Amino acid sequence: MQNADYIIRGEYVLPMDDARTVIKNGAVVIRGSKIADTGSFDEISKKYSSKNIITGNNKAVMPGLINTHTHAAMVYFRGIADDLPLKEWLEKYIWPAENKWLSPEFVSDATELACLEMLKAGITTYNDMYFFEDASGKAAKKIGMRAVLGAGIVDFPTIAGKGADDYLEKAERFIKHWTKDALISPCIAPHSVYACAPETLKRSKDLADKYSVPIHIHLSEAKWEVKDVQKKYGKRPVEHLHDLGFLDECIIAAHCVWVDEREIEMLAKHKVGVSHCIESNLKLGSGIAPVPRMLKAGIKVTFGTDGAASNNDMNILSEMSTAAKVHKAVSNDPTALDARTALLMATRWGAESLGLGEITGSIEKGKAADIVIMNLDKPHLTPLYDIYSHIVYSAMASDVETVFVNGKLVVDKGNLCAADEGEIISKAREWRSKIR
């Protein structure tokens, strides 16, 4: 008998492999930070013993969900301005609020709340774009989340920097600092083609190439962006990036709502990952990304919540559900995005598009133990014919019971392990009374 740190048993274990196997009465073995084995509970219990066997009836065990586009610290601006178009929302409310309030302390406190919200919704990895990312990294590590943190780059001065040179310098320092961390991977986040000149985009790309880190950018989110870029450069946004030599598989592009067939081909050819943020796009009235067409072209489309100020929550379960339904409706085709594909996009593809495919995104021997256990003993999950259907169309964040990240128990029976939830929430309320 081999010793294991944890054995997790589930009525349904979803490894998220190519065949979309479902292991009935399955088990996952955790040793240290990694998944040591997986299989039927009967097999596993003959080979391994552990003091910590997590079991119970009606549990689903799956890889942690991956949020491929967010601005975690924006949780503190949740509900501060709603029901406005993107440009007005950004320029009149969000950027001024950020310029007044952002600081390492703000980002650290807000990131703790964001991580709490995400973990409790079964998200174990998030891809961030913001300022003061050192503070964000420390907070995410404290709570125990895996994160790809993008040092924000824009051409204009903000509370976090003076201009492109300054942001790029800070980004380089940030990358060097976090490059060997087990949970935090650094990345570079030039905001968009409208907030970064071609020169800034090229310098960001050079820096990313120098350190082999991903680039995280907003792309073709709103109609006006396409119009502005066309007016300025005579090209559409994707074409503009393509001609700058910017596109490759290390790019994760958020939104891609207004892309034409040629641009879809360019994104596919260069293996750019697309983060689909349907709820943010719906709420800001930005439009609906042509996801079924992008999937057909072979693009790895994944899910992002965007910041909580434009969503207004951080819940990949609901992104999957909304996306799967909206794309059926707009294409008049109920097969446009099925539940199995949606869960693959939210797990393995998410990890792969962030360059973490070897590390997380599926339940496989040797991968990090980033695992979510859901309680299926709920009225809205009964009866059960197809586990994929329930996870995508019926499950809620409150069904997430237990979460592991890198082999560590981070949410135990619905409660955060690393910090006091009450304190995180009171801190958020204190900030709100100041921001107000």
Which chain residues interact with Zn ion by CB under 5 A? 306
Note whether 64 and 360 are within 8 A (CB): yes
**Residue 144 CB, nearest distance to Zn ion (Å)?**
24
Tokens of 274: 């697309």
Residue among 192 and 362 whose Cβ is closer to Zn ion: 192
Residues contacting residue 193 through CB under 8 Å, at least 6 positions apart:
201, 217, 219, 225, 229, 237, 240, 241
Please state the φ and ψ torsions of residue 20, each to the nearest 5 degrees: 50, 50
Residue among 133 and 306 whose Cβ is closer to Zn ion: 306
Note whether 65 and 123 are within 8 A (CB): yes
Residue among 306 and 352 whose Cβ is closer to Zn ion: 306
Residue among 124 and 305 whose Cβ is closer to Zn ion: 305
Tokens of 57: 């009836």
Please state the φ and ψ torsions of residue 263, each to the nearest 5 degrees: -70, -40
157 preceded by a cis bond (ω within 30 of 0): no
Q: What Cα–Cα distance (Å) separates residue 371 from each residue in 179, 238, 241, 339, 402?
A: 24, 35, 36, 19, 8
The region, left, alpha or beta by phi > 0 then psi within -120 to 50, assigned to residue 9 is beta
Note whether 51 and 4 are within 8 A (CB): no
**Residue 90 CB, nearest distance to Zn ion (Å)?**
10
**Residue 254 CB, nearest distance to Zn ion (Å)?**
5
Residue among 306 and 401 whose Cβ is closer to Zn ion: 306
Q: How do strand 400-405 and strand 65-70 relate by DSSP bridges?
A: unpaired
**Residue 346 CB, nearest distance to Zn ion (Å)?**
18
415 preceded by a cis bond (ω within 30 of 0): no
Dihedral sign computed on CA atoms, order 261, 232, 163, 78: negative
Q: Which of 314, 305, 317, 254 is nearest to 280 (CA)?
A: 305
Residue among 70 and 321 whose Cβ is closer to Zn ion: 70
**Residue 213 CB, nearest distance to Zn ion (Å)?**
19
Residue among 92 and 380 whose Cβ is closer to Zn ion: 92
**Residue 191 CB, nearest distance to Zn ion (Å)?**
9
Q: Which of 147, 55, 9, 63 is nearest to 403 (CA)?
A: 63
Residue among 29 and 215 whose Cβ is closer to Zn ion: 215
Residue among 124 and 310 whose Cβ is closer to Zn ion: 310
Nearest residue relative to Zn ion (C-beta): 306
Q: What Cα–Cα distance (Å) separates residue 123 from each residue in 31, 128, 143, 214, 411?
A: 21, 13, 13, 20, 11
**Residue 129 CB, nearest distance to Zn ion (Å)?**
6
Residue among 5 and 306 whose Cβ is closer to Zn ion: 306
Residue among 221 and 263 whose Cβ is closer to Zn ion: 221
